[in-house]
Amino acid sequence: MKKKKTKRYPEVSALGHSISMSANKVRRVIDRIRGRSYEETVMLLRCMPYRACFPILKVIASAAANGIHNLHFDPKSLIISKAEVNEGTTVKKLKPRAKGRGYPIKRSTCHITIVLRDVSLNEEHGEYVKRIRGLYPTNRKDTSENRGQVPLASGKPRGKRNKIEKPIWILHGRFNMDNMGSSEVLWDKK
Protein backbone atom coordinates (compact mmCIF):
# COMPACT_ATOMS: atom_id res chain seq x y z
CA MET A 1 0.00 0.00 0.00
CA LYS A 2 1.42 3.36 -1.05
CA LYS A 3 1.47 6.34 1.21
CA LYS A 4 -0.13 9.46 -0.13
CA LYS A 5 2.17 12.41 -0.44
CA THR A 6 0.91 15.31 1.58
CA LYS A 7 2.01 18.85 0.98
CA ARG A 8 3.99 20.32 3.81
CA TYR A 9 2.62 23.80 3.22
CA PRO A 10 -0.65 24.94 1.68
CA GLU A 11 0.09 26.68 -1.61
CA VAL A 12 -1.75 28.77 -4.17
CA SER A 13 -0.62 29.68 -7.67
CA ALA A 14 -1.33 32.03 -10.56
CA LEU A 15 -0.22 31.96 -14.18
CA GLY A 16 0.39 34.90 -16.49
CA HIS A 17 0.01 33.51 -20.00
CA SER A 18 1.47 34.90 -23.26
CA ILE A 19 2.95 38.10 -21.85
CA SER A 20 4.53 40.10 -24.66
CA MET A 21 8.07 40.28 -23.32
CA SER A 22 11.28 38.31 -23.59
CA ALA A 23 11.69 35.55 -21.01
CA ASN A 24 15.26 36.65 -20.23
CA LYS A 25 14.13 40.18 -19.34
CA VAL A 26 11.49 38.81 -16.98
CA ARG A 27 13.91 36.31 -15.40
CA ARG A 28 16.26 39.02 -14.16
CA VAL A 29 13.40 40.42 -12.04
CA ILE A 30 12.01 37.02 -11.01
CA ASP A 31 15.41 35.95 -9.68
CA ARG A 32 15.40 38.87 -7.24
CA ILE A 33 12.00 38.11 -5.69
CA ARG A 34 12.15 34.32 -5.35
CA GLY A 35 11.89 33.28 -1.68
CA ARG A 36 10.86 36.70 -0.35
CA SER A 37 7.70 37.56 1.56
CA TYR A 38 4.66 38.88 -0.29
CA GLU A 39 4.76 42.38 1.25
CA GLU A 40 8.48 42.78 0.61
CA THR A 41 8.06 41.62 -2.98
CA VAL A 42 5.31 44.12 -3.72
CA MET A 43 7.47 46.90 -2.28
CA LEU A 44 10.48 45.81 -4.36
CA LEU A 45 8.53 45.54 -7.60
CA ARG A 46 7.07 49.02 -7.20
CA CYS A 47 10.56 50.48 -6.82
CA MET A 48 12.35 48.60 -9.61
CA PRO A 49 12.76 50.45 -12.94
CA TYR A 50 12.16 47.45 -15.23
CA ARG A 51 9.21 47.04 -17.59
CA ALA A 52 8.79 43.42 -16.47
CA CYS A 53 7.80 44.49 -12.95
CA PHE A 54 4.21 45.38 -13.78
CA PRO A 55 3.16 42.00 -15.30
CA ILE A 56 4.93 40.16 -12.47
CA LEU A 57 3.17 42.36 -9.90
CA LYS A 58 -0.19 41.57 -11.51
CA VAL A 59 0.45 37.81 -11.36
CA ILE A 60 1.62 38.01 -7.72
CA ALA A 61 -1.43 40.08 -6.78
CA SER A 62 -3.66 37.53 -8.51
CA ALA A 63 -2.05 34.64 -6.62
CA ALA A 64 -2.42 36.49 -3.32
CA ALA A 65 -6.07 37.28 -4.07
CA ASN A 66 -6.66 33.59 -4.85
CA GLY A 67 -5.12 32.57 -1.52
CA ILE A 68 -6.93 35.20 0.52
CA HIS A 69 -10.35 34.59 -1.03
CA ASN A 70 -10.34 30.83 -1.62
CA LEU A 71 -8.15 29.48 1.19
CA HIS A 72 -8.35 32.37 3.73
CA PHE A 73 -4.58 32.95 3.84
CA ASP A 74 -3.04 35.74 5.86
CA PRO A 75 -1.19 38.12 3.45
CA LYS A 76 1.49 38.81 6.09
CA SER A 77 2.57 35.18 6.17
CA LEU A 78 2.76 34.54 2.41
CA ILE A 79 6.11 33.86 0.81
CA ILE A 80 6.98 33.23 -2.83
CA SER A 81 7.96 29.58 -2.87
CA LYS A 82 8.19 29.15 -6.63
CA ALA A 83 8.59 31.73 -9.38
CA GLU A 84 9.42 30.65 -12.89
CA VAL A 85 9.35 32.05 -16.40
CA ASN A 86 8.92 29.88 -19.50
CA GLU A 87 9.15 30.91 -23.11
CA GLY A 88 5.85 31.23 -24.94
CA THR A 89 5.02 31.18 -28.60
CA THR A 90 6.91 33.51 -30.91
CA VAL A 91 4.65 35.86 -32.85
CA LYS A 92 6.01 36.35 -36.36
CA LYS A 93 5.33 39.61 -38.19
CA LEU A 94 6.56 41.42 -41.28
CA LYS A 95 7.90 44.94 -41.17
CA PRO A 96 7.47 46.81 -44.47
CA ARG A 97 10.76 48.07 -45.87
CA ALA A 98 11.96 49.82 -49.02
CA LYS A 99 11.17 48.54 -52.54
CA GLY A 100 8.22 46.44 -51.43
CA ARG A 101 10.24 44.13 -49.26
CA GLY A 102 9.26 42.85 -45.85
CA TYR A 103 11.67 42.06 -43.05
CA PRO A 104 10.60 39.40 -40.53
CA ILE A 105 10.11 40.38 -36.90
CA LYS A 106 9.93 37.82 -34.09
CA ARG A 107 8.03 38.99 -31.02
CA SER A 108 8.81 36.72 -28.10
CA THR A 109 6.27 35.98 -25.38
CA CYS A 110 6.59 34.29 -22.00
CA HIS A 111 4.52 32.58 -19.32
CA ILE A 112 4.99 33.60 -15.66
CA THR A 113 4.13 31.12 -12.91
CA ILE A 114 4.00 32.27 -9.28
CA VAL A 115 3.34 29.94 -6.33
CA LEU A 116 2.69 31.49 -2.91
CA ARG A 117 3.01 29.49 0.30
CA ASP A 118 1.40 30.28 3.65
CA VAL A 119 3.97 29.41 6.29
CA SER A 120 1.74 30.31 9.25
CA LEU A 121 -0.53 27.30 8.72
CA ASN A 122 2.23 24.81 9.44
CA GLU A 123 2.61 24.07 13.15
CA GLU A 124 6.18 22.84 12.81
CA HIS A 125 7.44 26.21 11.67
CA GLY A 126 5.74 28.45 14.22
CA GLU A 127 9.05 29.85 15.42
CA TYR A 128 9.97 30.79 11.85
CA VAL A 129 6.76 32.79 11.47
CA LYS A 130 7.31 34.60 14.77
CA ARG A 131 10.84 35.50 13.72
CA ILE A 132 9.70 36.80 10.32
CA ARG A 133 6.89 38.87 11.83
CA GLY A 134 9.31 40.35 14.35
CA LEU A 135 11.46 41.70 11.53
CA TYR A 136 8.61 43.54 9.84
CA PRO A 137 6.47 45.20 12.52
CA THR A 138 3.17 46.54 11.22
CA ASN A 139 1.67 48.50 14.11
CA ARG A 140 4.68 49.83 15.97
CA LYS A 141 3.69 52.57 18.40
CA ASP A 142 5.56 55.82 17.97
CA THR A 143 6.96 56.33 21.44
CA SER A 144 9.99 58.29 22.48
CA GLU A 145 11.98 55.04 22.73
CA ASN A 146 11.59 53.90 19.13
CA ARG A 147 11.06 57.20 17.31
CA GLY A 148 13.57 57.43 14.49
CA GLN A 149 14.79 53.88 14.96
CA VAL A 150 14.85 51.37 12.13
CA PRO A 151 14.65 47.59 12.70
CA LEU A 152 17.58 45.61 11.33
CA ALA A 153 17.57 42.07 10.00
CA SER A 154 18.65 40.91 13.45
CA GLY A 155 15.46 42.41 14.89
CA LYS A 156 17.30 44.91 17.09
CA PRO A 157 16.63 48.59 16.44
CA ARG A 158 19.38 50.86 15.28
CA GLY A 159 20.25 54.13 16.96
CA LYS A 160 18.53 57.38 16.10
CA ARG A 161 18.84 58.53 12.53
CA ASN A 162 20.94 61.55 11.73
CA LYS A 163 18.92 64.61 10.90
CA ILE A 164 19.18 65.76 7.31
CA GLU A 165 21.48 68.73 7.21
CA LYS A 166 20.70 71.69 5.01
CA PRO A 167 23.10 72.32 2.16
CA ILE A 168 25.68 75.08 2.60
CA TRP A 169 24.10 77.38 0.03
CA ILE A 170 20.85 77.44 2.04
CA LEU A 171 22.65 78.15 5.32
CA HIS A 172 24.61 81.11 3.94
CA GLY A 173 21.50 82.92 2.73
CA ARG A 174 21.93 82.48 -1.00
CA PHE A 175 18.56 80.77 -1.24
CA ASN A 176 15.48 82.24 0.41
CA MET A 177 13.29 79.37 1.66
CA ASP A 178 10.44 81.67 2.73
CA ASN A 179 9.69 83.03 -0.74
CA MET A 180 9.57 79.72 -2.63
CA GLY A 181 6.27 80.44 -4.40
CA SER A 182 6.86 84.11 -5.16
CA SER A 183 8.33 85.49 -8.37
CA GLU A 184 11.27 87.21 -6.63
CA VAL A 185 14.83 86.45 -7.58
CA LEU A 186 16.07 83.61 -5.42
CA TRP A 187 19.81 83.84 -6.14
CA ASP A 188 22.13 86.65 -5.21
CA LYS A 189 24.01 88.49 -7.94
CA LYS A 190 27.54 87.55 -6.92
Residue 50 CB partners (closer than 8 Å, separation 6+)? 25, 28, 29
Would residue 143 count as lying in a domain?
Answer: no
Would residue 164 count as lying in a domain?
Answer: no
pTM of the predicted model as reported, rounded to 2 decimal places: 0.60
Would residue 163 count as lying in a domain?
Answer: no
Would residue 144 count as lying in a domain?
Answer: no
Would residue 155 count as lying in a domain?
Answer: no
d(CA 60, CA 48): 15
The SS3 assignment for 108 reads coil
- Reported as a pLDDT band with limits 50, 70 and 90, residue 119 is confident
Would residue 77 count as lying in a domain?
Answer: yes
- Give residue 111's domain range: 11-95+102-135
d(CA 59, CA 74): 18
Q: How far is CA 179 from CA 35, 167, 169, 176, 184, in A?
A: 50, 17, 15, 6, 7
Would residue 145 count as lying in a domain?
Answer: no
Q: Measured on CA atoms in the order 129, 132, 135, 136, is the torsion positive or negative?
A: negative
Any idea what the CATH number is for the domain that residue 35 is in?
3.90.470.10
- Reported as a pLDDT band with limits 50, 70 and 90, residue 7 is low
118 in Cβ contact with 78 (< 8 Å) = yes
Would residue 183 count as lying in a domain?
Answer: no
* 62-102 tens-digit pLDDT: 999 999 998 888 888 899 999 999 999 999 999 999 999 99
Domain count, the chain: 1
